[in-house]
Amino acid sequence: MSFVPPPWPLAKPDAHPQAGAALCHAHKFGGSSLATAERFRQVAALLRGTGASRIVVVSAMQGVTDALTTLAQSALARQRWHDDFRALRDRHIAVASELDAEGAHALVAWLETEFAALQASLATPSRRPEWFATLQGAGEVWSARMLLATLDGAAAGWAVLDAREVLAVHPGELGVGVDWPRSRARLATWRAANRQANVIVTGFIARGSDGAVTTLGRNGSDYSAAIFAVLCAASELTIWTDVDGVLSADPRLVPDAVCLESMSYAEACELAYFGAKVLHPQTMAPAMQAGLPIRIRNTLRPQAPGTLITAESAPAASPVKGLSLVSDMALLELTGAGLIGVPGTAERMFAALHAASVSVTMISQGSSEHSICCVLRADQAERGRMAVQAAFRDAIADGQVEGVRVTPGIAVLAAVGDGMVGTTGVSARLFNGLAQARVNIRAIAQGASERNVSVAVSAEDATRGLRAAHAAFWLSPQTLSVGVIGPGNVGRALLAQLAQAASRYSGAGVIPIEARPMEARQAEERQTGASGLDLRLRAIANSRRMHLAPRRLDPSEAVAALEEGEALDFARFAAHVRAEHLPHAMIVDCSGSDAVAAHYAEWLAAGIHVVTPNKHAGAGPLERYRAIRAATRHGGHFRYEATVGAGLPVIQTLRNQLDTGDELTEVEGVFSGTLAWLFNRFDGSVPFSRLVAEARELGYTEPDPRDDLGGVDVARKLVILAREAGRELSLEDVEIESLVPPALREVGREEFLSRLQELDAPLQARLDAARREGRALRYLARLDSEGRARVGLVSPDPDHASLHSQLTDNLVQFRTRRYACNPLVVQGPGAGPDVTAAGVFGDILAIAQALGARP
């Protein structure tokens, strides 16, 4: 037979398509793309109507290779296999009946013959590798024939190439190698007999150097696709799968993982070797040698552009392209002073592991040479330990080596990206992200190429660490699991602000980020710049009940959810907020309860950040205050700006002065927006009791106005500021003047409200006395240079700043060594739930920024 030139040129393994050459596009469809008759029709629709010739490599239908392997093993073990055989046969016959309903391609009859041959083979099993390989590879043969029928066969210009007729391979030290000259020659012969422009190729199967049927190993169909794409000088290889492309992390562990637009071969290899499932590393070898572009696309969403893998990827905003996690690992460590400076120690250790057929995933050794450790598969750990222990038996007996220790329950987290090369601070960002999430690193490894930084962590921390690292490199929003306690005036205002801000920080109101199409989320993030933070409300509680949401809670529906909640349990509440699969946790206490403040230290020690306007922590028992401050050393952030000035930066201003070396001498001012409003209005024209009632209606007072009028709230703020400045002041040390007459201090709230007018006469008398001296009344707090603290009603000098403030203004004057003559003043609205909630929200965002978010 004379040679017929193919519609596409044959190529050497290092060839690249020449300009003007006939275009050939290679495709590969995995098992998930061929799982049902509907999927076969979708694949056929994708392949019709393109201008280029097509080489299509197919896998077996989803799950078929595993099923065939089980059948072969059962037959060899003389176990029952007939039921599984019938299930496999019936599945293929059912799909074939749909694809070739009219019988035009005799697909069902052909499959019946194939399965009869399979049944006969199973009935006479053989230990020969060729028998096993022939059975394992049958699924690809069936898939190819079924796709041929779906595409209307030879009449539509399609042919099936059984790879065993062409692909010649040989075993190699690093896996199956290709005999390129023999494969090219066989392909030329096959093309001479098959003139169709488009070819369907069976993946996974080949013939060895002895002519026996063999396979390319797991994920071998991808390898087949790369090989045939190179053999046929394809311009590009598209691998169709069930994801949009190569993702920045496993979406099952990181729901916010993004699809990468492009990658280099080196990046793809690193991610593949470290557990990314989209592309097998062996696939890259022929492509890299030939400069063949590979594109990963989704069969179910062909409109998605996918990920393009070439020699060099496009520049990215983050130096890290992706992160992967390898689980079920163990850490093997050899330690001893006798290892220091001894040549050949590492060689001896790894030779022992090699001899025991133990694969090493990661190696780490300190410059002191006192210890050397490696990470290996958990199921090989004991075998590895015994091998190394035997290799160093004499040194262990002599005491030069302490021994070999295995730590189970390890996972390896790898950060990969070409942008890491020469970029300073990449490791620091990774380690800081893990530290913020309270993930301890057991071992570190980085290659000289700088494309990969790998760390060994506890398996219990692995998912949390992966999410934290993913957010640290701005590949996804920084996620905070949030629980809110105390849905009173301030708590409700905060929930309203969270609901309003949700669209800014998650891009779609209260719709979970992970529920939206990926490209829609990415487009929104590019437009709004709001990719940095995901505040995920997951729990809410009042003094009696709590509601724990498994995923997230809509802030606008949180209070109503309490009606169907369960009894409050602080331990369960905190444990739920501190979800292991989320990197960061925060409890926001808006309750004003001393009982809640008593839990702050344990929450902070557990790594839960705490934000609060509750003054009981900062002004409560001194021992508890010290315990809270000490607990922050464990990584939990404690923010309480709203305890003193609602939304004003009072504590921040004082902290800035102290941290830069200044020294506080005196504090004075109006520390209550409620009392500021009352005495800015109180001029004798309206009874004081009526002003109190009006302030309560406006929401300026606590539900019981005595909490404001008693002065204790102001005294607590003074104690908080004093302690911030390093003074060990307690509430008992503050002289407090209460505006509530003794007769009204112990009665019920309703009775007190009904007798408010009893406040009028004494306060009118104080006002009259002040006016006779040309002065007014203000309720001030003061801490003097001697440490004396007092809160109460005074008649300040006419030029005092408090006499010139607005209605609800808080006003805090700091006298310090730097501001001795002219005090530093912080002034602004200090009453109302909205401004207080805004102060709390500001603290939440401050912690988020400290964790690396970009709100």
Please list the active-site residues. Answer: 717
Contact between 567 and 544 under an 8 Å Cβ cutoff? The reply is yes
Per 3-state DSSP, the chain is made up of helix, strand and coil in percentages (nearest 5) of 45, 20, 35
Task: Please report, to the nearest 10 degrees, the dihedral formed by the alpha carbons of residues 815, 817, 822, 826 taken in order.
Answer: -40
Contact between 370 and 336 under an 8 Å Cβ cutoff? The reply is yes
Rg of the chain, C-alpha, whole Å? 36
How is residue 326 written in tokens? 């390898």
Phi-psi region of 809 (alpha: psi -120 to 50; beta: other; left: phi over 0): beta
User: 814 in helix, strand or coil?
Assistant: strand
Q: How many CB atoms lie within 10 A of CB 437?
A: 23
How is residue 767 written in tokens? 């006002």
C-alpha span between 248 and 262 (Å, rounded): 11
Phi, psi of 260 (to 5 degrees): -85, 135
Question: If we measure between CA atoms, which residue out of 94, 56, 88, 54 comes closest to residue 69?
Answer: 88
Phi, psi of 831 (to 5 degrees): -130, 155
Residue whose tokens read 């709390």: 840
Q: Report the residue count for the chain.
A: 855
Contact between 333 and 407 under an 8 Å Cβ cutoff? The reply is yes
Could you give the count of Cα atoms lying within 13 Å of 89 in the half-sphere of its Cβ? 18
Residue whose tokens read 């908080």: 720
Q: Bridge-partner residues for 27, per DSSP? A: 56, 238
C-alpha span between 265 and 293 (Å, rounded): 9
User: 15 in helix, strand or coil?
Assistant: coil
How is residue 760 written in tokens? 């009028």
Task: Please report, to the nearest 10 degrees, the dihedral formed by the alpha carbons of residues 11, 12, 18, 23 taken in order.
Answer: 30
Contacts of 404 (CB under 8 A, 6+ apart): 332, 333, 334, 385, 388, 389, 392
Residue type, 192: A
Helix 37-47 crosses helix 82-99 at what angle (to 10 degrees)? 50
C-alpha span between 778 and 208 (Å, rounded): 96
Question: If we measure between CA atoms, which residue out of 409, 335, 333 comes closest to residue 377?
Answer: 409
How is residue 165 written in tokens? 């007729």
C-alpha span between 238 and 226 (Å, rounded): 10
Tell me the H-state helices in 236-338.
265-273, 281-290
Please spell the DSSP secondary structure of 820-855, one letter per residue.
SSS-EEEEEE--SHHHHHHHHHHHHHHHHHHTT---
Residue whose tokens read 């993946």: 203
Could you give the count of Cα atoms lying within 13 Å of 288 in the half-sphere of its Cβ? 14
